[in-house]
Copies of this chain bind each other. A is one copy, B any other.
Amino acid sequence: MRRTLKAAILGATGLVGIEYVRMLTEHPYIKPAYLAGKGSVGKPYGEVVRWQTVGQVPKEIRDMEVKPTDPKLMDDVDIIFSPLPQGAAGPVEEQFAKLGFPVISNSPDHRFDPDVPLLIPEVNPHTASLIDEQRKKRDWKGFIVTTPLCTAQGAAIPLSVIFSNFKMTGAYVTTIQSLSGAGYPGIPSLDVVDNILPLGDGYDKKTIREVTRILSEVKRNVDEPKLQDVSLDATTHRIATVHGHYEVAYVTFKEDTDVNKIKEAMTNFRGEPQDLKLPTAPEKPILITEEDNRPQVYFDRWSGDPPGMSIVVGRLKQVNQKGIRFVSLIHNTIRGAAGGGILTAELLTEKGYLEK
């Protein structure tokens, strides 16, 4: 049996923070031990949190005091989960890693450091070994591992299956994203009532960039086209849904490619987390729906077990001999953030990176 790991959750009252709290409360060996907040230090967590998820604040957590983000107070903490916002996250995470803490970050600040893994446990688990390089190079006892942008994961997980097994030449993704991805207060209401909010070039680009890095780290069964010859694009939007990023992808191939083969590959897709039976690993990372009006955000975002850990793919279609279409739905704050972070911690535990 595993020893219990005590977790500190930074930004514990935020939209990703609450999912860490909720999921870790039921975790077999990682326990929420330190809840760090900002505006609400010294108050009971249950009083100050905006619990924008299912159920109510777990009883055992309700009276835990929110504490400052101060490593000196975290002597007995074994692991740091950091869903801090862009800009704020970077220096804090470095400080913790330097002091010897393992940091799992959902923030963008270190996602493109070449010695920092950008990890989806089913997709590029071997990149965990960058930790060794990172520690050596930076002379750190701790380390930083990042998880990708929720939007990028919704595309990258199914695309990684395609890219590693079929001669993909391009993927063109249109996203219809939920509000929780932007945090709170986040998106002004007048931007999304009777409206669609285009997220603009910057968001499009960072999505493409992250998908590109992830695909570059996938182990492939085909060796062409090279990634640099694959055309990737994203057109991103937000609408008035609370959780769940819905994405439509058109994918082109070098040669005739059967959509049923792709469906089969996605259905059979498993990764290290499944092989290792990690507690937060869903049995199937990708669930296929056959109904032509699914997935639907309201009904399918909590798919998988633990809920929200499986991506749902549907509307698979042969568009032409060398092109297919699919849509995917990812729970952005679970699989795309907190759940992904916990699964990453479990993988790193297995790989020995969390031993004292």
- Residues on A close to B: CB < 8 A? 50-52, 54-56, 170, 172, 174, 176, 179-180, 184-201, 231, 233, 235, 237, 239-242, 246, 248, 250, 252, 292-299, 302-303, 307, 314-315, 317, 319-320, 323, 325, 327
Inter-chain contact B319/A240, CB cutoff 8 Å:
no
Find chain B residues with CB under 8 A from A250 CB.
172, 233, 250
CA of A189 to CA of B194 in the docked complex: distance in angstroms?
12
Inter-chain contact B320/A170, CB cutoff 8 Å:
yes
Most buried by B among A184, A201, A248, A252: A248
Inter-chain contact B196/A190, CB cutoff 8 Å:
no
Q: In the assembled complex, how far is the CB of residue A219 from the closest CB belonging to chain B, in whole angstroms?
A: 25
Inter-chain contact B233/A195, CB cutoff 8 Å:
no
Find chain B residues with CB under 8 A from A192 CB.
189, 193
Q: From the candidates B55, B187, B235, B317, name the one contacting A325 in the complex (CB within 8 A).
A: B235
Q: From the candidates B54, B235, B252, name the one contacting A327 in the complex (CB within 8 A).
A: B235
Most buried by B among A170, A250, A317: A250
Find chain B residues with CB under 8 A from A252 CB.
252
Q: Given A52-B298, A172-B172, 18 more contacts at CB 8 Å? A: A51-B299, A52-B299, A172-B250, A172-B325, A174-B248, A176-B237, A179-B189, A179-B190, A184-B190, A186-B188, A186-B189, A186-B190, A194-B241, A198-B295, A198-B314, A200-B292, A231-B323, A235-B325
- If A174-B248, A189-B188 touch, whether A239 touches B196 (CB-CB below 8 Å) is yes
